[in-house]
Amino acid sequence: MFGRTGQVARELARRCPSGMEATFLDRQDADLSDPAACAAVVRGADADCVVNAAAWTAVDRAEAEEATATTVNGEAPGAMAKACAERDLPFLHLSTDYVFDGTGTRPFVPEDPAAPLGAYGRSKLAGEIAIRASGARHVILRTSWVVSAHGSNFVKTMLRLGGERASLRVVDDQVGGPTPAAGLADALFAAADTMVAGHAGGTHHFAGAPDASWADVARATMQAAGLSCRIDPIPSSDYPTPARRPLNSRLDCSSFSRNFGMERPDWRSGVTAIVNELQGATR
């Protein structure tokens, strides 16, 4: 598995099913800024399946460093997938709601046209295109708003700020499916099992339920943590960022459920589990 320290990779390591062996590769083992080296790792691996849980995720920084982001998110996954095709190994890859433009209010289905708003989305779309062109049996799994007790994410930021301030202003016109990394790890294991058994794969969506705004997630975090910090909703225009964010990040996950037998995880229970883990670690 490409990735060791990211949110999803850490949950993959923690939740690896009994009887399954998984090797996790960090940057020293496989640098995604060197696509050829990543392909060489795949060619030499003793594996039944390859999972790419590593990526450039600095959305705003990608606006100024698009070439590097595209190498990591586009060229490297394409090289991995080509090497998988040579060996007839299934390839699983995480993508993002940012490949869509975020218009409308209905959930995006996998077949909807991609129209990314910024450099990060374009880099992830480049990876999708390269994987589909590789000839490998693959699953491209688009997700959104990943949260966990690891790394940097929205829940951890809200928990820290909520303990310091009486109120926070949080965007409420961006709506999507917050996704616990633990649930996403389980989804990847389910897809890997099915792919190794011969499933054809394809592009699918997997995100938490129910759909919510960032302000909703902030309120749930405060409630789970027992914090009195008030959440004041604001529009995205009041919180400008270098990269435009999709207003509609809703993802239709029904095809993943049909093909791999997993329903969307409840992000609210996921947030409670994350907060409990983080608070337990500080006691």
Q: Which residues contact 226 (CB under 8 A, 6 or more apart)?
A: none
The alpha carbon torsion through 241, 76, 191, 256 (nearest 10 deg) reads: 40
Which residues 6+ apart lie within 8 Å of 258 measured at CB? none
The closest of 155, 178, 189 to 53, measured between CA atoms, is 189
DSSP letter assigned to residue 71: I
Q: Which of 2, 24, 100, 120 is catalytic?
A: 120
Cα distance between the two ends of the chain: 33
Rounded to whole angstroms, the Cα distance separating 238 from 173 reads 11
What's the order of all strands across the beta sheet hosting 175-176? 212-213, 175-176, 248-249
Residue 239 among the catalytic residues: no
Active site residues: 120
